[in-house]
Structure formats: structure tokens, C-alpha cells
């Protein structure tokens, strides 16, 4: 008898598993200062958390021909230690253990460059709680959330778009990019509201459910995998 593949849960990192805004925002502030450009307001700075910074910089006043310069300035601060100005949201380790106990395959799928995502997961004890960590390339142009999910699916032996024979799959994320990126592969997204989305962002993007408290995440995910 052929055994069905384990249910797959793809997990965003920033704003979903970890509160990474302090380190990211500090790096963004540094980048604008280094370029001599006005620093955006606090709400705009928080909006940088989640999407690729190569898309966020030009969307918020950095000229296209200076985006690479801004990214380099940001990474100076981030790689020097800013990436560890971060913490795991309370209750997330328990959620990951519960999902694994329920037979799920867990994979982090983040727009953050993989060379940063993996050491962050190592530092904060997440690597041991998931099956793998996938991120964007450090250089080589913009990598969307859909690109990262495609990489994860291929590495895990799943097709795109997902098909019933692959077993059920769900994305968990805090921004519209998670919802849209998952949808490109036929995967629904559970949105978490403790992250960095603007009011209404996740619902407007088409999240299949919104979870307001970490304690409710396990049941929200398992009920959508059934």
C-alpha cells in the first residue's frame, strides 16, 4: 500500500516566526543615511519587513540606479549583527513541535537571503524544529516569495502547482506577499496578524484564515490541511 506524503507546512520567517523588525529597521535607517536620503517614517520602515528589500527601496524613494548601493549599506549593518537583533515569538516553538507531532513536514520559506536565514534559524533554535530552511539568493536580482516557494517545493519533491497526490500543503505568513506567492503554486495561506501587515492587507490578499494569537495557530493550520 502506497503511503501518502506528509502534509507540508511552509512557514514565513520575519513577522511569522520571529520579531525581526528591530534589526531590519536599524539597517534600513542606516542605508538611507549612508545615501543621504530622507529616512521614511516609522510605519514605512516597518513595511520593509517581509518583502525583498530590492523591491522596497525603489518603492520608497531610493532611485533605481542607487538601489544596489542601498542594499550594500543595509547589509553592512545587518550582517555585522543586526540580523540577531531579533526574537522568536512566544509560543512558536510549541506550535512547531505540535505540527511535527501531527506528522507535518515543516519548511521555512523566506524572502530573506538564505545565507542570513539559516544562521538566524540556527541561533534561535528553529533549525532543529523544522525539516529545512529556504531563502532567496544573496545576489542576482529580485527573488519573489513565489520563487522561494518553488525552490522549496522542488527540494522537497513536490510539484507545482500542488496536486492531491503530493498531499495537502499550506503556507503560513504575515504579509500579502506570502499569500500571493503561495497562490502561484496552488497553495492556500493562513495569515497571522502579529506580524507586519497593514490593516486589512492579509484579508484583501485572500488569506484563507486569519490567526490573531500564536496559541491558535496549530489548530488553524491542521484544520486547513484536513
* H or E stretch covering 135: strand 132-136
| Residue 149 CA: distances (Å) to CA of 5, 136, 170 | 18, 10, 11
Pick the catalytic residue from 12, 19, 174, 178. 12
**168 CA to centre of own chain:** 20
Q: Please, is 1 exposed, middle or buried when counting C-beta atoms within 10 Å of its C-beta (0-12, 13-18, 19+)? A: exposed
Residue 186's contacts (CB-CB under 8 Å, 6 or more residues apart) are: 160, 161, 162, 163
Is 12 one of the annotated active-site residues of the chain? yes
Contacts of 148 (CB under 8 A, 6+ apart): 109, 110, 111, 134, 135, 136, 181
| Pairwise CA distance, residues 67 & 60, whole Å | 11
Sorted by sequence, the CB contacts under 8 Å of residue 122 that are 6+ apart come out as: none
Active site residues: 12
Amino acid at each position: 500500500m502506497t503511503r501518502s506524503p506528509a502534509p507540508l507546512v511552509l512557514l514565513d520567517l520575519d513577522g511569522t516566526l520571529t520579531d525581526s523588525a528591530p534589526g531590519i529597521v536599524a539597517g534600513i535607517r542606516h542605508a538611507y543615511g549612508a545615501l543621504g536620503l530622507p529616512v521614511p517614517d516609522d510605519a514605512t520602515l516597518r513595511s520593509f519587513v517581509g518583502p525583498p528589500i530590492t523591491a522596497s527601496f525603489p518603492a520608497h524613494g531610493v532611485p533605481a540606479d542607487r538601489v544596489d548601493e542601498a542594499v550594500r549599506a543595509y547589509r553592512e549593518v545587518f550582517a555585522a549583527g543586526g540580523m540577531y537583533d531579533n526574537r522568536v515569538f512566544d509560543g512558536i516553538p510549541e506550535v512547531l513541535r505540535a505540527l511535527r507531532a501531527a506528522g507535518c513536514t515543516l519548511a521555512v520559506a523566506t524572502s530573506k537571503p538564505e545565507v542570513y536565514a539559516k544562521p538566524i534559524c540556527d541561533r534561535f533554535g528553529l533549525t532543529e524544529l523544522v525539516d529545512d530552511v529556504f531563502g532567496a539568493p544573496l545576489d542576482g536580482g529580485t527573488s519573489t516569495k513565489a520563487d522561494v516557494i518553488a525552490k522549496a517545493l522542488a527540494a522537497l519533491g513536490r510539484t507545482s502547482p500542488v496536486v492531491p497526490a503530493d498531499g495537502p500543503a499550506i503556507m503560513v505568513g504575515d504579509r500579502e506577499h506570502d499569500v500571493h506567492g503561495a497562490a502561484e503554486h496552488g497553495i492556500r495561506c493562513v495569515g497571522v496578524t502579529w506580524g507586519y501587515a497593514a490593516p486589512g492587507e492579509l484579508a484583501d490578499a485572500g488569506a484563507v484564515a486569519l490567526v490573531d494569537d500564536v496559541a491558535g495557530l496549530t489548530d488553524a493550520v491542521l484544520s486547513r490541511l484536513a
